[in-house]
Amino acid sequence: MKTNTLTALFVVFFSGVIIYTIKSLAYSFEYALISYSPPNYFVNIILIFLLFLPISSLPKKLFLPSHYLILSVYILIYVPAVIVPPYIIEHNYFNNNYYIFLLCFCLSIKYILSPKYKRLKNMAISLTKPIRKSQFTILFLLFYLVSIAFFLYTFGYRFNVPSLSEVYDVRFSYRANTNAITSYLVLWMGSVINIFFYLRSIILKNISGVLLTAIFQIYLFNIMALKTHIGILIISTLIILFFIRREIITRNLFIKYSLFALIFIKLVDIIIGGPIPILDSLITRRIFVLPSQGGYYHFDFFDENIKTYWAHTLIGITDYNYSLPPPNLIGKMIFNAPERTIVVNSFMEGFTAFGYFGVFLAGALVKFISNSLDYLFIYRLDSINKKTILTFSLLISLIINSSGILTLLLSHGVFILLLMYVLIPNLKTKYYAEDIRRA
């Protein structure tokens, strides 16, 4: 079966899964404004057109980090962004300008995928040089020691794993006790640095390293009660075990694995039973439905009101026109709960800051990140670090799904990730001409 045809069939099936999840959870999560409001046939035709529009531009063979990153962005972020809002928001109240945003999002994906990577260049990273292995080891050993010292001083020795019902209490305690330094350290360690050494330990079959980094990741979860820290541990383990076996796959194979994952979720829910599908609620709703639903609320508000122009951030150069940050502002407007944060993906955050231009600004950032990962993959990294950077390329798509542009770079540590791979000792033993040919 041709690659684009299989992808289109998968997208239709995946869209059906999302719609079914909305319908099955609508009654139980009515308090979260999840309702089932299917649009008319004309709107469905528009949605199908928007869903299929980027498919021809997607890579057919997945080799570079950018290939995995952009395909994941398409499946995890773009497809739900197209499907969820029209099926949750009643047609009479739907802001039709949202379709313009989707078109800009689609064009942004196409922009990220061009030009071809056979002439890959990255001026910023090409000017840098890796450091020695001993320097790299000492640097990050010190980083671990400093981080642990800050954590113990701020939070004490805490190793009681909170249950799902306790996470919000733990998070409230974390916010009351944390400071700027520890908040960044927790996110950097839990999203990037500790995961990097955890992945290397798996590849090198270093059991003690795997256990120590896994225990430290659980400790970070105990501090902040951020479910992402546990989720990223599980997901990265599954991904790295896959990349240990193979680095180059086709888009068809990627689609087949994704299809298997969706079917597995449904089968588990059928076997478990109950009034609420557990995995649908924990995975499909949280990863696909809620971010897209929240994204629409952001769009609907900032489409008619003054954009933020990043005035609420450290680089703001204008006066901020609102009393709350955008996630809390939307939480107050929609749910009358200013303490509730409604996070969005980087492309929607770009819109809230600069309108439709901001969508392409977010695309330019993702293009820079993917270009940098590709450059490092081809010119700098050995086979071990290639597997880790491919794993992170998939994890970054999950971060993009729930983070603004600046949050993606700073709080969630993508800038630290790039810095790590820039500094890592150049252990590449294979001449990179073959990598360039494949790219």
Reported as type and span, the H/E element at residue 250 is strand 249-250
Instruction: Tell me whether residue 38 is in a domain.
Output: yes
Task: Assess whether 115 and 144 both reside in one domain.
Answer: no
User: What's the pLDDT at 121?
Assistant: 59
pLDDT attached to residue 210 = 95
Three state DSSP letters for 262-330:
HHHHHHHHHHHCCCCCHHHHHHHHHHHHHHHHHHHHHHHHHHHCCCCCCCCCCCCCCCCCCCCCHHHHH
In a domain, 312, yes or no: yes
Q: Helix or strand or coil: residue 432?
A: coil
Give the number of domains in the chain. 2
**Whether residue 337 is found in the same domain as residue 396:** no
**Whether residues 261 and 220 fall in one domain:** no
Sign of CA dihedral 182, 184, 187, 191: negative
CB 151 within 8 Å of CB 185? yes
Are 9 and 111 found together in one domain? Answer: yes
- Verify that 116 and 255 share a domain, yes or no: yes
| DSSP state letters, 32-95 | GT-------HHHHHHHHHHHHTTGGGS-SEE-SHHHHHHHHHIIIIIHHHHHHHHHHS-GGG--
Both tokens assigned to 391: 């794993």
The reported pLDDT for the residue numbered 431 is 47
Within-domain flag for 188: yes
Examine the domain organization and report whether 354 and 209 are in the same domain.
no
pLDDT of residue 117: 47
Distance CA 71, CA 60 (A): 10
End of a domain among 361, 376, 399? 361
3-state secondary structure of 249: strand
| Predicted local confidence at residue 437, as pLDDT | 54
Q: Are residues 196 and 154 in the same domain?
A: yes
Same domain, 321 and 278: yes
Tens of pLDDT along 161-180? 666 666 667 777 777 778 88
Can you give the pLDDT at residue 290? 87
How far is the C-alpha of 325 from the C-alpha of 173, rounded, in Å?
A: 21
Residues in the chain, pLDDT under 50 = 117-119, 431, 433
Q: Give the tokens for residue 217.
A: 């990741």
Whether residues 275 and 291 fall in one domain? yes
Nearest to 127 by CA among 429, 407, 392, 375: 375
- Asked, for residue 373, whether it belongs to a domain, the answer is no
Q: Looking at the domain assignment, is residue 197 inside a domain?
A: yes
Together in a domain, 327 and 433 = no
Residues forming a β-bridge with 249: 62
Final residue before a domain boundary, out of 361, 377, 400:
361
Task: Please say whether the beta carbons of 298 and 97 come within 8 A.
Answer: no
The one-letter amino acid code at 236 reads S
Measured distance CA(237)–CA(96) in Å, rounded: 41
What does the pLDDT read at residue 102? 96
Same structural domain for residues 355 and 401? no
Q: What is the pLDDT of residue 432?
A: 53
Domain-embedded: residue 234: no
Backbone angles phi, psi at 28, to 5 degrees: -70, -30
Domain-ending residue, one of 361, 378, 402: 361
Cβ contact 382:390 at 8 Å: no
- Interacting residues of 352 by C-beta distance below 8 A, sequence separation 6+: 298, 299, 302, 307, 308, 326, 344, 358
Q: Do residue 209 and residue 307 come from a single domain?
A: no
CB atoms within 10 A of CB 140: 16
With respect to residue 384, please indicate whether it lies within any of the assigned structural domains.
Answer: no
- Does residue 58 lie in a domain region? yes
Question: Whose CA is closest to 293, among 14, 11, 21?
Answer: 21
> Which residues span the domain enclosing 41?
3-121+250-361
Residue 241: C-alpha distances to residues 73, 213, 306 (Å): 21, 17, 47
